[in-house]
Structure 1
Amino acid sequence: MDKDHRQISIRLNGKKHNYEESAEPEAAAANEEDELLSLPEPEKKTSKIIDFGKRLHERKKNDQPFWDDGNREQGPKLPLKRKKKRRTTIGLSLKSLPMSMIIAVVSAVIIGISFGFMVLTVFTSDRIEPTTAPSMETNEPLGTPVITEGEVTIPALTVDIVQGGAFSTADKGEVGVANLQRSGYAAVISKANEPVLLFIGVGNNREEAAAVADLYKENGQEVYLKSLTIPTVQMPATETSSATFLAEGGELFHELITLSVNSLNSSSPTEKQLTAIEQKHVQWKEKQQQFVSDFSELSEPASAFASSLSSAVEQLKQPNSNQQFWQVQQSLLDGLLIYQELIQKAQSNG
């Protein structure tokens, strides 16, 4: 290699450049300067490229907000109006309930109301509206029999009773009767029902029975008021119509009760009232013999019923007093039980 023309190889940016040394240093320097000025600029390092579309896709995929670059189509939007969720309420309807539960609830209500009325009727004596005795469907006056072809219908007899108690046996009831009668009160026991009931007063309606009950309350006696109805009865019609004896006896019985209760207010029966009741009693007694003749099987209770009413009429003639009142009540209570027995026998024979 010639010393005057030495070559130098330089590699820049992967490119090889050859340089020769010139004998003339100045010329070589000039040439080198020219070469240096003509060298290509080094390549700039490439920076990382950000793909905003890709990022937008990823952020939308991840439900993340995207910055607003001015493109409103791709920019963030206001959230859509969401409908308010309706409150869910849990409601019950009859259709959703089982039939067995509905029947049980209705039955419980009916039983509760019935029991309430029963307790009100049996265990209360004050503030109860008076009740009147029912009449026949044909609106016949009380005590007037309904006569049809071959049959006589005797109207029902309804009264209100002052009840003094109930006993498991008749023997215990008799002890209660004896104690009350010994104290001057009226008392009988009804064996028609179980338990045995103690009756200590009678009125045509609730108001009259309450007036009698007040006398017991003043002396500390616990009492109850209840209605008692002796039902209608159909009896064979006879040529003498003797069956009307029972109907007229029931009417007389009601009138005697009224006179008895009125005497509590120190209003003794007037002469006119006593005369009227006595005449009616005599006329009724005249039919007794014919009735016993036509219905011999009823002769015993019919005679006993007539005797109890006769006793009440006689006692009303006595001077008004507390003793006289209870004697009349005793005769009427006796007559009530006998009349009940008489109707029961008439029904069984019919």
Structure 2
Amino acid sequence: MSDQKHSMNFKFPQSMKKNSRPAPKSEDSEPIEVISWDRSLFQKNHSTPQDNDDSHPEEDKVVDFTEKVNVKKSGNEPFWDDGDRSKGPKLPPKNRKNKIQLSIPWPIVGAVMSAIVVGLGLGIVVFQFFLNDDTAYSEAAIPAQATVYTDVAFPSLHVDVVQGAAFTDMETAEKVVSETKEKGLPAVLIPGEETQYMFLGVANDQARGTELSVHYGEQGQETYVKTYTVEGGEVSVGGEDAASWYTSANAIYQFLNNVSSQFIVANERGSISEENIAQLNQSVEQLRDSRDRAFSQMNEQARERSLQYADTLFLAVKALNTYHESNENDALYQIQQQLLQMIVQYEDVLTIINEE
């Protein structure tokens, strides 16, 4: 190990004796000189016959620490099959991960966005129908007239109903419905194949239906909320006018449904502006004037049931006008009674048409 060490020479000045006088300066005294080892400079300036002496380091005895560090690092790298640790081989193309390419179904995205826009539009229309002040409903909610559309069909009726009870005996069912009406509450019997159902109220969504159910529950009625649908149907030859009339009537039905259920749940005064009431009455008059022509292509039984449906709709609108003038809650229950009856009548009309 001694052969591998570098030698360093030091020269110190002579020590000074402790006396009162400072020591005279000596020309021979020199400051400390540190000489570091430089092999090339040493060989150049101190070449002697004794260069082969073991006291001086040989070129092959100099340790290269950089090389040792690189070797140590290479030992920590992953070992590949070719024995080289410095760089791993690339995977063959078939084993490489493919980039994920998403194919966006633009037609579906467009359809979804259109549905969202339409849904938001309808939500705004319903929200603007009314509130406790004279908040106006959207004019688009009630058609100005019973327009004949190019592609028409009898509309489907989707509502959330408050069910009061179910009966297997018709006599018992009719008795309970009659007693419920005597209490001032709306009630209608929906016949089924084996079971009859008593409906107490109608709303335009489940949340409102639940609130209406709680309202009737506070009056001692056992209630249950469920969605009820009357499926529409295709138009037969000559039935375009009738389908168009029912489409306009359905818009008014939903408006009356929304207003009456909201005001009953709120249990406080609600109002509609004079302008909006006038528009509603004008639309209803147009339906009244066009119904004979619209129903003229129906068979006698379907026409009779459709006229009954129209009369019930007009009674519901009349009850809304009464509420607008008097703010009596009984008028709201009358609207609900007519709307429940219209469910039965509309279902009868579609059943007759489908049997043709």
How does the TM-score come out when normalised to structure 1? Answer: 0.55
Does 2:308 align with 1:304? yes
* Cα distance, 1:189–1:240 mapped onto 2, change above 3 Å: closer
- Give 1:243 deviation, angstroms: 2.9
Equivalence for 1:222? 222
Q: 1:308 to 1:239 in 2, by over 3 A?
A: closer
2:317 is aligned to 313
Tell me the alpha carbon deviations over residues 23-72 of structure 1, each in whole angstroms, 9 at most, x when there is no partner.
Answer: xxxxxxxxxxxxxxxxxxxxxxxxxxxxxxxxxxxxxxxxxxxxxxxxxx
SS at match of 1:233: coil
Q: Could you tell me how far 1:259 is from its partner in structure 2?
A: 1.7
Describe the shift of the 1:161–1:240 C-alpha distance in structure 2 as closer, same or farther (beyond 3 A).
Answer: closer
- Could you say if the C-alpha distance between residues 182 and 240 of structure 1 is closer, same or farther in structure 2, counting changes exceeding 3 Å? closer
Letter in 2 for 1:313: V
Q: Using a 3 Å threshold, how does the CA distance of structure 1 residues 240 and 338 change in structure 2: closer, same or farther?
A: closer
What's the secondary structure of 2:158's corresponding residue? strand
The structure that is strand-richer by fraction is 1
Q: Does the 8 Å contact 1:235/1:346 carry over to 2?
A: no
Q: Equivalent residues in 2 for 1:189-268 (5 A)?
A: 189-238=189-238, 241-264=241-264, 265=266, 266-268=269-271
CA distance in 2, matches of 1:270, 1:263: 15
Q: 1:207 to 1:239 in 2, by over 3 A?
A: closer
Q: Secondary structure at the match of 1:154?
A: coil
Q: Which runs of 5+ in 1 are unaligned?
A: 1-131, 134-140
Distance of aligned partners of 1:234 and 1:292 in 2 relative to their CA distance in 1, 3 Å threshold:
same
Q: What is aligned with 2:331? A: 324
Shift in CA distance, 304/233, structure 1 to aligned 2, threshold 3 Å? same
Contact 1:309–1:332 under 8 Å retained in 2: yes
Match of 2:285 in 1: 282
Q: Is the 8 A contact 2:155 2:246 kept in 1?
A: no
RMSD value, Cα: 2.5
**Of 293, 296, 319, the match for 1:293:** 296
The normalised TM-score by structure 2 is: 0.54
Q: Is the 8 A contact 2:155 2:243 kept in 1?
A: no
Where does 1:97-176 land on structure 2 (aligned, <5 Å)?
A: 147-148=150-151, 152-176=152-176
Question: Could you tell me which amino acid in structure 2 is paired with residue 228 of structure 1?
Answer: Y
Does the 8 Å contact 1:188/1:199 carry over to 2?
yes
Q: Distance in 2 between matches of 1:239 and 1:170?
A: 35
Question: CA separation in 2, counterparts of 1:166 and 1:290?
Answer: 39
Q: Secondary structure at the match of 1:329?
A: helix
Q: Percent identity?
A: 25
Q: Which has the higher contact order (CA 8 A, sep 6+)?
A: 2
Residue by residue, what CA displacement relative to the aligned partner does 1:318-340 show, whole Å, maximum 9, x if unpaired?
A: 12222111111111111111111
Structure 2 counterpart of 1:344: 351
For structure 2, list consecutive stretches of 5 or more residues without a partner in the other structure. 1-121, 124-140
Once the two structures are TM-superposed, the CA of residue 310 in structure 1 deviates from its matched residue by: 0.5
Residues 60-99 of structure 1 mapped to structure 2, 5 A cutoff: none
The equivalent residue for 1:103 is none
- Cα deviation per residue 1:235-259 (whole Å; 9 max; x = unaligned)? 2243973431122221211111112
| Residue-pair matches, total | 208
Structure 2 letter corresponding to 1:321: E
| Cα displacement (A) at 1:275 | 1.5
